[in-house]
């Protein structure tokens, strides 16, 4: 079964491609490489021992999608491709709304046109905003998003839900995942931020490698044990495996339309300061970091309740925060040595 993976050369997408192949699926990547590198394809080739089909196109391009659907006989889609930086979305909201919403709607239209049934959407815990009660469950009310990025994920979820409700012959799952970190244990693929990283762990690893002078932890006066934000950090390989399980669950849905949402996290929260200190401990090094003011758009604390994904999808996070930070550092060391 061929699965179209939009943004498949990106951080989460590339790891999901590996797990799809391991599970017997045939991934087909579409990526415009605006936020990824061609070197990811080389890493995939080394891990898998073969090339992966890849189209260098934008999934907002209807002609490119027509070509892929007609040639490849796609049976399902995992949709990662989106702009994703919280801070940038606050500064450039129209860029985020146009790209993230239009690509999702176009893919859904093409699914109906070509009779593709299964759709897994890359959503985010940002749809919960700053929740009033922790941990968040799938029934936790979605509060107004703290950023345009988060709002695009909520709107896309609504679009997918409404399309399924309208009796489109589509089965869909939205995976609301928390904070993906780490890298493939082989150190052949990992996170490749362009320019200054917007995510914490690449900034940490680049600082450890001497590429950045120091880390600024945004906010030290939150209502948390050490004053820094709390997040649910999940290893990217665990997250990739959740997408395979989502496809398997969709394959089991034989009657009518189906749409559901699942939290994908570890179920445990760690502060930003804990992450930095764990990185130092497991990799036996010291980081230059300081505490700074809060950053616009940041949620104070959030972590997942994962009973639903554990019980219904049969998925559970297996790797620890320490595992993630060891793999992330191994990946950074490989990049730095090039």
Residues catalogued as catalytic: 149
| Helices 272-283 and 200-208: angle between axes, nearest 10 degrees | 40
SS (H, E, C) the chain: CEEEEECCCCHHHHHHHHHHHHCCCEEEEECCCCCCCCHHHHHHHHHHCCCCEEECCCCCCHHHHHHHHHHHCEEEEEECCCCCCHHHHHHCHHHHHHHHHHHHHHHHHHHHHHCCCEEEEEEEHHHHCCCCCCCECCCCCCCCCCCHHHHHHHHHHHHHHHHHHCCCCCEEEEEEECEEECCCCCCCCCCCCCCCCCCHHHHHHHHHCCCCCCEEEECCCCCCCCCCCEECEEEHHHHHHHHHHHHHHHHHCCCCCEEEEEEECCCCCEEHHHHHHHHHHHHCCCCCEEEECCCCCCCCECCECCHHHHHHCCCCCCCCHHHHHHHHHHHHHHHHHC
Identify whether the C-beta of residue 234 lies closer than 8 Å to the C-beta of residue 178.
Answer: yes
Residue 209, both tokens: 């490698």
The token pair that represents 278 in the structure block: 């764990």
């Amino acid at each position: 079964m061929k699965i179209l993976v939009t943004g498949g050369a990106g951080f989460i997408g590339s790891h999901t491609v590996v797990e799809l192949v391991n599970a017997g699926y045939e991934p087909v990547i579409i990526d415009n490489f605006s936020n990824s590198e061609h070197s990811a394809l080389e890493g995939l080739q080394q891990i898998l021992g073969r090339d992966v089909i890849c189209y260098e196109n934008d999934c907002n391009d209807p002609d490119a999608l027509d070509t892929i659907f007609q040639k490849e006989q796609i049976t399902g889609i995992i949709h990662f491709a989106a702009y994703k930086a919280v801070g940038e979305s606050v500064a450039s909201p129209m860029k985020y709304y146009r790209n993230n919403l239009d690509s999702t709607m176009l893919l859904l239209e093409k699914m109906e046109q070509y009779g593709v049934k299964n759709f897994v959407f890359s959503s985010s815990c940002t749809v919960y905003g700053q929740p009033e009660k922790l941990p968040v469950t799938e029934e936790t009310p979605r509060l107004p998003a703290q950023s345009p990025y988060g709002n695009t994920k909520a709107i896309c979820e609504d679009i997918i839900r409404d399309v399924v409700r309208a009796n489109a012959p589509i089965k869909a799952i939205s995976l609301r995942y928390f904070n993906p970190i780490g890298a493939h244990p082989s150190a052949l693929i990992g996170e490749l931020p362009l320019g200054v990283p917007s995510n914490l762990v690449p900034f940490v690893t680049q600082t450890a490698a001497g590429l950045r002078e120091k880390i600024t932890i945004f906010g030290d006066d939150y209502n948390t044990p050490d004053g820094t934000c709390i997040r649910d950090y999940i290893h990217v390989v665990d997250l990739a495996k959740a997408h395979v399980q989502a496809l398997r669950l969709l394959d089991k849905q034989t009657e009518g339309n189906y749409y559901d949402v699942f939290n994908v996290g570890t179920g445990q929260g760690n502060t930003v300061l804990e992450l930095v200190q764990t990185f130092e401990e497991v990799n036996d090094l010291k980081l230059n970091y300081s505490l700074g003011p809060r950053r616009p758009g940041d949620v104070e604390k959030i972590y997942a309740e994962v009973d639903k994904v554990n019980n219904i999808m049969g998925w559970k996070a297996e790797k620890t925060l320490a595992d993630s930070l060891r793999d992330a550092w191994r990946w950074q060391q490989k990049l730095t040595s090039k």
